[in-house]
Amino acid sequence: MAEPHLHPEAIWSLIDGRHGDPFAILGPHMTEAGPIVRAFLPGASAVTLLSGRNAVPMTRIHPAGLFTGGIEPGPYRLRIDWNGTIQETEDPYSFAPLLGELDLHLLREGRHQDIGRCLGAHPMVVDGIAGVRFAVWAPNARRVSVVGDFDSWDGRRHPMRLRHEAGVWELFIPRLLPGTVYKYELLGPQGQLLPMKADPIAWQAEPPPATGSIVADTGRLVPPRPLKASGDPALKPISVYEVHPGSWARGDGNAPLDWEELGDKLIPYVKGMGFTHLEFLPIMAHPFGGSWGYQPLGQFATHAPFGAPEHFSRLVERCHEAGIGVILDWVPAHFPTDVHGLAQFDGTALYEHADPREGFHQDWNTLIYNLGRQEVRNFLIGSALHWLEHYGVDALRVDAVASMLYRDYSRKQGEWVPNIYGGRENLESISFLKELSEIIAERCPGKLLIAEESTSFPGVTRKAQDGGLGFDFKWNMGWMNDTLRYMERDPIYRRYDHGLMTFGLVYAFSEKFMLPISHDEVVHGKGALPAKMPGDEWQRYANLRAYLSFMWMHPGKKLLFMGCEFAQPREWNHDRSLDWHLLDEPRHAGMQRLVRDLNELYAGMPALHALDCDPAGFRWVVLDDTEASVFAWLRFGPGGAAPALVVCNFTPVTRQGYRLGVPQGGDWQEVFNSDAGIYGGSNTGNGGRVFAWDEASHGLEASLSLTLPALGTLVLTPSTH
């Protein structure tokens, strides 16, 4: 029978899961007959109202499971009989709204910088009752419900309250615990039932192929103690070890290591190798492991196969205790089309552009964030702050910036939409990146923002207030492409491509650059680093030793992908461990030692890092010896720091008596030789020391005569003795 205070259509829309305002029907209400409680509990055989010492059976007013009962004013509980199984709980529809007016105002304006704690699922205590508050942005949905095992995945059981002013739905469900798996069930704007959606702001997710969100125990996430850092990072040595956490090393049965196991092995290794920073490929929750994390759906959740969120937080703290900074790759450019994710989230193009000419990446089959929408910008900036503040990471490396900057990126004529001025620049993305950098600089001083950006877009590392994008460093993709092309040439032909090695210095100080040899260079048929090098086996490894040494001595911060430090000869495979057994072979152990020594030299000599981004720190000595394929330059440090002379011979010919100018006479010490026997070389060199005569050469007041080892790089510095 129908309750006289309810219109039959209201009852029908509730039991049919179409009612958009459940609090108008459910929970406590004052009627002419006095206070009553209504509860919709499909499948329940009986319900009793518990108020103080009173127990009042509720009346079933609809066979689908709608109950009503009179009650005295005050707190109450529901005792629910699920056909013999008794559940006792508070009524979700007895709680007042929890999101405050300021939260809603900031969400509406797209300025809520702690959106990760405002939206999503958060354990909390309300009116003395422990439970979980859920909140999700879905402004165009007709109804949103929380579903999970706790309500048999029935979207009629826990429909949420719409806070109209911000398009946010919220609900507090008492007695739920951390670890609960849940999703959202939505009706779209035409009343259509959508595929169940994972929570965009969940802090934890199920491991793939499962797609549920998990209520994280956010109280256990204590931000790690920060890494001690001060001063301008451009003046510091920065040497980054890039790692895919699922394949650096594997455990029994080829299982990926979890964060604890990985930290036990990886942190002492990175520390012992002398790298200053550890960079992880994206660790945000992603449905397909073969994307390496570059197609994330959980911008606030750690990837479940590696362990719980608090375990990643502990790994960051352990890195900081070892003096290692942590960098995360972060992807604000695009997201995958999986139906449980952000695509058509509320039945409309909410996070993405509706027009595929703006909203679909043809190269990656992904959707492009609509950065002209303030709520989407807020979502992404909130994600960036989430990793920097809640997990204490030291930097974000922003992926695919070039694709964000240009509307015609990888598109033919007619496949893209010009900006309001008719140009190709993506003004919304540019504005977003500037806003991002300014907020991070204000809220997270000392944290870095690094751009993977492959074009000549001006001012990437100029401050936003000065007209730039505000990044701290930019990957120098041009340098990487040019120098690898040169190294792939047979040495007999390198004379014709000499400029590939020198061109990077034409623009080396136009931005603050990082020199990357990343994962992208050792996959998809490109070959591992040793395979790129020409010649017989000895020459290939000599070429690689000389090249890595060239890189470490070149202006710019350094980044090297895992496995490259010991010259793994096969391409990287994300489904298996690196070939650590190769370190039993001298040529691989020698390469590893070379990289360790390069890091030590780079960090220990101010001339090799302090002016990485300043033209005052560099001077060519020889840049035009194309016949011999020799390059020589000087690196200078601030103040009275000792200079360093770097000489590279990229032919398999030893050169005797090679004369070079230097800024001062006297003894010069050969502090590094890539041809040393300990690295697998032939031990050709200058006996560790050479004398510079007061005879001018190359525009410098003194000169010295060197033996240049075949396919070798030397570093010399004035002797202090």
143, 160, 192, 348 from 187: Cα distances, Å: 5, 12, 5, 11
Q: Are strands 666-673 and 712-718 parallel, antiparallel or unpaired?
A: antiparallel
HSE-up of 285 (CA within 13 Å, CB side)? 32
List 103, 399, 428, 675, catalytic entry: 399
Give dist(CA 614, CA 511) in Å, integer: 10
Task: Give the SS3 label for residue 116.
Answer: helix
Q: In what order do the strands lie in the sheet with 666-673?
A: 618-625, 630-635, 644-649, 712-718, 666-673, 689-692
Q: 426 burial class (0-12, 13-18, 19+ CB within 10 angstroms)?
A: buried
The question of whether 452 is a catalytic residue gets the answer yes
Q: Within a 10 A sphere around the Cβ of 358, how many other Cβ atoms?
A: 17
List 428, 435, 452, 511, catalytic entry: 452
Q: Which helix (H) or strand (E) holds 717?
A: strand 712-718
Cβ within 8 Å of residue 91, ≥6 positions away: 26, 27, 28, 37, 39, 76, 77, 78, 174
Give dist(CA 428, CA 202) in Å, integer: 26
Q: Within a 10 A sphere around the Cβ of 8, how many other Cβ atoms?
A: 10
The question of whether 425 is a catalytic residue gets the answer no
Residue 388 falls in which region: left (phi positive, over 0), alpha (psi -120 to 50) or beta: alpha
Peptide bond into 209 cis (omega under 30): yes
Cβ contact 194:348 at 8 Å: no
Give dist(CA 197, CA 340) in Å, integer: 4
Q: Within a 10 A sphere around the Cβ of 697, how many other Cβ atoms?
A: 17
Cβ contact 629:652 at 8 Å: no
Phi, psi of 474 (to 5 degrees): -130, 135
Q: Are strands 34-40 and 27-31 parallel, antiparallel or unpaired?
A: antiparallel
Give dist(CA 400, CA 333) in Å, integer: 7
Cβ within 8 Å of residue 426, ≥6 positions away: 371, 404, 405, 406, 407, 419
Q: Which residues form the catalytic set?
A: 399, 452
